[in-house]
Amino acid sequence: MTPFVLGEEEVVLGFALIGIRGATPANREEALRDLASARAQASQAMLLVTESVADLIRPEIRDATLGGSVIQIIPGVRPARAAAEDSQAMLLAALGIKL
């Protein structure tokens, strides 16, 4: 099984240190092109995608997974979105209660 990485430059460089190839898409169009390219190569059995890139192409990742591709979303260097508070903390903040 040969993985391929789509993500931030730091993540791709880190995986390159252990011999895993990758791409660093800067926008949605590049991410879609790199996803299609990785899926077209028969040697690529697993695709690792960082959260920030996955947010750009989430519907396509879902379709590729349903089509039989093995895709794993991994954490990147920078958080894809702000850390989500749990529902209890949000409710307490909305009510002005500090514990």
pLDDT above 60 for 76? yes
**pTM of the entire structure?**
0.76
Q: What's the distance, Cα to Cα, between the start and end of the chain in Å?
A: 49
Amino acid 29: pLDDT: 96
Name the residue range of residue 63's domain: 2-95
Give tens-digit pLDDT for 35-55. Answer: 999 988 866 679 999 999 999
- CATH at 60: 3.40.50.10580
**Cα–Cα distance measured from residue 50 to residue 58, given in angstroms and rounded to the nearest whole number:** 11
pLDDT above 90 for 61? yes
Higher pLDDT, 10 or 45: 10
Which pLDDT band, with edges at 50, 70 and 90, does 93 fall under? confident
Distances (CA, A) of 29 to 13, 86, 87, 89: 21, 33, 35, 37
What is the percent of the chain with per-residue pLDDT over 70, rounded to a whole number? 88
The phi and psi torsions of 77 (rounded to 5 degrees) equal -70, -45
- Based on its alpha-carbon atoms, the radius of gyration of the chain, rounded to whole angstroms, reads 17
Q: How many domains, the chain?
A: 1
